[in-house]
Amino acid sequence: MECNCCHAAVAEGVAKCPSCGFPVLAAGDGSPEYNRILTEFRSKRLSQIIIEMQVYSYEVSSSGVSEAGSAWHTVGLASALKAGEVVWSDLDCEALPSDRSFTVRLRIRNGGTQREQAVTFSPGRTVSRSCIGLAGEDVFTFRLAVGSKDDYILSDTIRMLS
């Protein structure tokens, strides 16, 4: 069975979706009232989700380059995403490698909970600039975009909810 709200798999006999908390129904009745409740629930859940990326800083000294620290930077808000569109953050990264894979660490904060997820990009084509954005997909899913408005690569699909 599938949750009508977030499309997560739900076991038979469960009262609420373990992923999003929406009441489990065999099928929504499609009435305007049901659709209003579903839309309001999704909007409320999406308004609580913040997507962040771990950003590293480096120091150059006479002995070489070393990591100086890291911080989490907000990449976007789930409520701002729309299917098929990329929302670009103000985060501008150094050129990312195209000849080898690279991994980006995301943190997805959802109300009082959070989880971290590594997102790996496989070697591929070079993008002219490395800005970071979020590409909306289905409800509660997105892809990480690396590049520029005109030339970017996308990660695999990432779920906002655990």
**pLDDT tens by residue, 123-141:** 666 666 678 999 999 889 9
pLDDT for res 97: 63
pLDDT for res 92: 74
pLDDT for res 94: 67
> What secondary structure letter does DSSP report for 85?
-
This prediction's pTM: 0.84
Torsion sign, CA atoms 53, 74, 85, 78:
positive
Q: Give 78's Cβ-side CA count (13 Å radius).
A: 24
Name the amino acid, one letter, at 128. Answer: S
Provide the phi-psi class of 36: left if phi over 0, else alpha when psi is between -120 and 50, else beta.
Answer: alpha
Tell me which residue of 3, 31, 1 sits closest to 139, measured CA to CA.
3
